[in-house]
Amino acid sequence: MMRPRGVRGFFSLSRLLGGHATPVQSPAAKYRVAIIGGGSAGVSVASQLMKKLPKSLHSEIAIIEPSDKHFYQPYWTMVGGLGLDKEKSVLPMSKVIPTGVSWVKEGCATFEPDSNSISLKGGGKVEYDVLIVTAGLQQNFGLVPGLMDTIGKNGVSSIYSYEYSSKVWENIEATKQGKAIFTNPGTAVNCGGAPQKIAYLADCAWRQKGVREKIEIDFCTATPGIFACPTYRAALEKIMAEKSITPHVKTNLVEVDGPGKVAIFEKEGGERVKKEFDFLHVTPPMSAPDFIKNSPLANSIGFVDVDKETCQHTQFANVFSLGDCSSLPTSKTYSAISSQAPVVVHNVMAMLDSKPQNATAAYDGYTACPVLVGGNKLMLAEFNGYTMDAMPTFAPPLDQAKPNTLFYIMKRWIFEQVYWHFMPVGMWYGKRMFFEPPVKHKVVPTAATSSA
């Protein structure tokens, strides 16, 4: 038998630590911890919790997850913009859910936090001591009239779907001239930079084919600027200008006529503008999933209402949330999740130890967005989503606002391997890499500090 060698060998050995989970035959009446969703956040938190709990308690962690498949969504940008194989963005859920936890292969239907229970779509009920909600975002393609009828056809595609991500590359290849439009809605989206990353990659592909001169590119965003963090926004505005991509801010896609090849936008003040297109890349409006929106856990806009530092629910102390479905007001990325997970694990452990007063670990708002800009270069935008200050990992002279090839290599080949091999075994802490971050505590104002 061949022995694995080098980097590839190291990765395949490390993956042996990962799981081969099988769903439970029928769920137990109660678990110590119930995690809703086995995506990036659910699996990160489960695998890190397992490292803190004795083995005898691992089966007391339930992951409630109906899907057979686990997606590494950041890959979809490279499927659409570099023509990579979308099959590489997916693994069977059984290989990602850690062995030893109880996988309840059903959807959660409703939350009953007053009785510490949830109802399953199949009709059962599960009680818990602690609940962690990690059900991701819902892509609402149907909210833009005409979009559902035309997505995947008529030059319309999106990297915000496993299914249509490969269509983006097909459309890039098929477009030789005309008008290309890339959209960004005004709602929360996963990875705020991805709607423009795909524009840069398309620009690059069209330049390589020698057709760029014949294609006009517009980036239409409902937001007031093209990127949230000012340090990187300024650099990205320059890049957009250099690439002759025209930004249109406060310009929201509201309707698509696929066969007529017309997209309708609403500008600030309600004015409607029709734009013809040959190529249309749509980032759909997104929201928390409906079953969360309609639950007692939701805030006024539908996300799980948690403290922005402790990730603990504002009303139900034994409920936590992180990742895309949480109300944490930072950019919704896996990078952010890798900083949120250890915080949630610390605070959940405090609850399980019956020391709720110790559930004070605090998340600082860290997030990151690796912006592919074409030409095998990438800007590694790391910032605090709460203060919008840049939080670069690398010291000068390396300037993270300047795209470079080293960062591109990390995104193109390394991040994906790290995700599949180390995230499911609780060994990846994002910015801190393999090292568990020290706990920072929430500062609770005392009578003295609040009156000062």
Position among 146, 323, 365, 426 found at the interface with ligand FAD (CB under 6 A): 323
Name the minimum Å distance from CB 329 to ligand FAD: 14
Looking up tokens 């399953």 gives: 120
Nearer to ligand FAD (CB atom), residue 36 or residue 212: 36
Bridge partners for 369 per DSSP: 381
How many other C-beta atoms can be found within 10 angstroms of the C-beta atom of residue 270? 6
Position among 74, 192, 302, 342 found at the interface with ligand FAD (CB under 6 A): 74
Q: 191 an active-site residue?
A: yes
**Total binding residues for ligand FAD by CB under 6 A?**
36
Cβ pair 53, 47 in contact under 8 A:
no
330 lies in the binding site for ligand FAD (CB under 6 A)? no
Of 107-136, binders to ligand FAD (CB under 6 A) are 107-108, 134-136
DSSP code at position 410: I
Q: What is the largest CA-CA distance in the chain?
A: 71
73 lies in the binding site for ligand FAD (CB under 6 A)? yes
Nearer to ligand FAD (CB atom), residue 146 or residue 289: 289
Name the minimum Å distance from CB 218 to ligand FAD: 20
Q: What are phi and psi of 152, to 5 degrees?
A: 90, -5
147 lies in the binding site for ligand FAD (CB under 6 A)? no
247 lies in the binding site for ligand FAD (CB under 6 A)? no
42 lies in the binding site for ligand FAD (CB under 6 A)? yes
Name the minimum Å distance from CB 104 to ligand FAD: 9
Name the minimum Å distance from CB 446 to ligand FAD: 34
Cβ pair 180, 279 in contact under 8 A:
yes
How many other C-beta atoms can be found within 10 angstroms of the C-beta atom of residue 22? 11
Bridge partners for 321 per DSSP: 133
Name the minimum Å distance from CB 420 to ligand FAD: 13
Of 184-243, binders to ligand FAD (CB under 6 A) are 190-191, 194
Report d(CA 45, CA 204) in Å as an integer.
38
Report d(CA 132, CA 113) in Å as an integer.
12
Cβ pair 101, 59 in contact under 8 A:
yes
**241 residue type, one letter:** A
Spot the catalytic one: 108, 191, 220, 229.
191
Q: What are phi and psi of 248, to 5 degrees?
A: -130, 105
Near ligand FAD by CB under 6 A, which window of 11-19, 26-34, 61-69, 218-226? 61-69
Q: Taking each helix axis from N to C terminus, what angle separates 194-208 and 230-242, rounded to the nearest 10 degrees?
A: 20
Torsion sign over Cα 296, 300, 301, 304: negative
Near ligand FAD by CB under 6 A, which window of 26-34, 66-74, 145-153, 215-223? 66-74
Report d(CA 344, CA 441) in Å as an integer.
12
Of 196, 180, 185, the C-alpha closest to 261 is 180
Position among 21, 34, 64, 220 found at the interface with ligand FAD (CB under 6 A): 64
Q: 369 an active-site residue?
A: yes
**DSSP SS3 for 288:** coil
**DSSP SS3 for 219:** strand
333 lies in the binding site for ligand FAD (CB under 6 A)? yes
Report the residue number whose CB is nearest to ligand FAD: 39
Name the minimum Å distance from CB 287 to ligand FAD: 13
Nearer to ligand FAD (CB atom), residue 64 or residue 240: 64
Name the minimum Å distance from CB 278 to ligand FAD: 22
Q: Which residues bind ligand FAD (CB under 6 A)?
A: 36-42, 64-67, 73-74, 76-77, 107-108, 134-136, 159-160, 190-191, 194, 289, 291, 323-325, 332-335, 337, 370
Which active-site residues does the annotation give? 191, 369
